[in-house]
Amino acid sequence: MSGGSSRTASRVFMALLVLCACASALLVRAQAAGASPSAVKMAVEPLEIVTTTGAHRLRVEVARTPDQRERGLMFRTSLAADGGMLFDFHDERPVSMWMKNTPLSLDMIFVSRAGRVVSIALGAEPYSERVISSGGPALAVIELAAGSARRLSIAVGDVVRHPIFER
């Protein structure tokens, strides 16, 4: 191999090393921000829950597709106090959830097509594969940081306002 070929190969090798280092840095930054490399993008929309203490406005990510619902809040390490996720199942039916790969403890609010809270699971255990059931037909599930349901006084029968629910 000539000296020119050796220098070219060396430059290509160095460029590949720099690319790998940059990709690793981006991956670490994404994971530190609570995301994973294969995160599924979801729309963030306003949602309101009306309880005995008033109307509480939240900004929730909306999981509408099977991929989005499957991913949910997996791998997240933080959640805003007014944030959460709304899982839209499109049809009212018994719904089951779990906490696999989810490091946050969550409250799960099961909601009917009419926008009424039908059941609540408080403080779901992180990483658990225990099935959490709606206990009856639900169109959607709202996941909030553990403690939010108590803080907002959410109870069975409360009204949830969002375009997916019938008026």
124 lies in some domain: yes
Residues 20 and 101 in one domain: no
pLDDT digits (tens, 9 = 90+) for 75-86: 988 899 899 999
CA angle centred on 129, ends 136 and 37, rounded to 5°: 110
pLDDT value, residue 2: 54
pLDDT value, residue 136: 95
Residues 70 and 151 in one domain: yes
Residues 135 and 74 in one domain: yes
Residues 28 and 73 in one domain: no
138 lies in some domain: yes
Q: Which 3-state string (H, E, C) describes the chain? A: CCHHHHHHHHHHHHHHHHHHHHHHHHHHHHHHCCCCCCCCCCEEEEEEEEECCEEEEEEEEEECCHHHHHHCCCCCCCCCCCEEEEEEEEEEEEEEECCCCCCCCEEEEEECCCCEEEEEEEEECCCCCCCEEEEEEEEEEEEEECCHHHHCCCCCCCEEECCCCCC
- Cβ-count burial of 117 within 10 angstroms (0-12 exposed, 13-18 middle, 19+ buried)? buried
57 lies in some domain: yes
pTM: 0.76
pLDDT value, residue 166: 84
Residues 52 and 112 in one domain: yes
pLDDT digits (tens, 9 = 90+) for 61-73: 999 999 999 998 9
CATH number for 148: 2.60.120.1140
Residues 63 and 95 in one domain: yes
Name residues whose C-beta falls within 8 Å of residue 58's C-beta, 6 or more positions apart in sequence: 46, 47, 48, 49, 82, 83, 84, 144
Structural domain of 47: 43-161
Counting as low any pLDDT under 70, the low residues of the chain are: 1-40, 167
pLDDT value, residue 163: 96
Domain count, the chain: 2
